[in-house]
Structure 1
Amino acid sequence: MDLLNILHHRHTTKAYDKNRKIPAPLVAQLLESLRFSPSSVNSQPWHFFVADDDAGKARIAKATSGPFAFNASRVMDASHVIVLSSRNTLPAEYLQTLADQEQADGRYADDNARTTAHKGRSGFVGLHEQAGDVPTWTQKQTYIAQGFLLLSAALLGVDATPMEGFDAAILTKELDLAQKDLSPAVIVALGYHSDADFNAKLPKSRLPEKTVFTHI
């Protein structure tokens, strides 16, 4: 596996072959890449909505109307589409769920270790609550998950399109996100590009190394 070659050839897909589906074993791996993404204090402040048929994709495509119509075909023609949403709050009961899961997964040597970890995470969340930026913080964590998904897709030979071009209000209503204390962060379409995907034929363009790195 040549990581640099994959990075140079990965691209944002502009058109999908609607007749090609991602094999189930690869889908399972892609979903695991989301579930195992890192997050600050293991907060995992996200929820992922997965559409793998026309009915599910049509629900998401409702948010690609008006000025976002250019994304409609990318949603409908892709094999799978995932809405990455972030939590608006991290209440005490959710933090307790995290602690219970870590306990079940054997991450604590003893009760003291569990108490210390739980107190530390709760304290860090409290700092963001005081700053009033919990939704911004959780969205940042959700974008880490997006990065893991995009790289994992490229490693598995699956094309992807991250999209912020959607009507958040429409998507929030369609998926009942407000009632779930969630906000939509980004949509990612997954599948295999078609011959109409002009971006697959273009060379990559990035600023040179000397422009983006400073060695100190």
Structure 2
Amino acid sequence: MTTATVLSPEELLKVQEWRYATKQFDRDRKVPADLWSALEKSLVLSPSSFGLQPWKFLVIQDPALRAKLKAASWGQGQIEDASHLVVFLAKETLTEADVDHYVARVAEVRHQAPESLAAYRGMMVGTLVTGPRAATVDAWAARQAYIALGNFMTSAALLGVDTCPMEGLDAAQYDQILGLAGTGYHTIVACPAGYRSTGDKYAELAKVRFPEAELVDHR
């Protein structure tokens, strides 16, 4: 495996300073297909607890569907104006069948016998299906979706693509509009992606963050 391209510390921080929650997207500017393909792959490559990937990512391009989702998003224009819209879903429950599906995939990709993963399978089932986290596994899955969201936003910024994480939405309405009943998944958060409008006044505002000394503690 080749080593990853390494940014300098200055380059990394420059990208982080450039990124902001875009309030107004340029409707006429679209993310090129090769960049978007890479961003979809970055979603798939996102890390998750145990590697279980309790999520789905809906890329919404249909204008009529986006119009309905905008109405369920407090009327925020980013839903329609951005080049792409990703809705992050998380599993409502986790079953032994879900764990077995993942174990089978591990065995396939790493050329292992599924039986060799019995102890790992037992740990996952004992923790998330029958164990102490089973009662709150929906909250656990939602946290995993936010890990993917953060990875997606950072990946987009590194490619010069703007994003806006959006919790300002009615998740139940999203579920209904997207036909999620009976799928085992529900809406967590949305993230439009594209390119900022030259008229977005927020693009040039200084970032407001507490001092590093107030937020980072060394022990």
2:193 to 183, 190, 193: 190
Report the counterpart of residue 4 of structure 1 in structure 2. Answer: 13
Q: For structure 2, list consecutive stretches of 5 or more residues without a partner in the other structure.
A: 1-6
Q: For structure 1, list consecutive stretches of 5 or more residues without a partner in the other structure.
A: none
The alpha carbon displacement at 1:92 in A equals 1.5
Other structure's SS at 1:188 match: strand
Tell me: higher relative CO, structure 1 or 2? Use CA pairs within 8 A at least 6 residues apart: 1
- Tell me how far apart the structure 2 counterparts of residues 92 and 62 of structure 1 sit (CA, whole Å): 37
1:52 to 32, 53, 61: 61
Q: AA paired with 1:78? A: A
- Tell me how far apart the structure 1 counterparts of residues 94 and 151 of structure 2 sit (CA, whole Å): 22
Other structure's SS at 1:214 match: coil
Deviating above 3 A after TM superposition, structure 1's stretches of 4 or more consecutive aligned residues are none
TM-score, reference length from structure 1 = 0.91
- Tell me how far apart the structure 1 counterparts of residues 114 and 93 of structure 2 sit (CA, whole Å): 26
The alpha carbon displacement at 1:89 in A equals 0.5
Report the counterpart of residue 81 of structure 1 in structure 2. Answer: 85
**Corresponding residue pairs, total:** 209
The alpha carbon displacement at 1:178 in A equals 2.8
TM-score, reference length from structure 2 = 0.90
Other structure's SS at 1:134 match: helix
Q: AA paired with 1:95? A: V
Report the counterpart of residue 36 of structure 2 in structure 1. Answer: 27
- Tell me how far apart the structure 2 counterparts of residues 25 and 33 of structure 1 sit (CA, whole Å): 12
The alpha carbon displacement at 1:113 in A equals 2.8
- Tell me how far apart the structure 2 counterparts of residues 107 and 122 of structure 1 sit (CA, whole Å): 22
Whether the 8 Å CA contact 2:99–2:125 is kept in 1: the answer is yes
How many percent identity over aligned positions?
Answer: 34
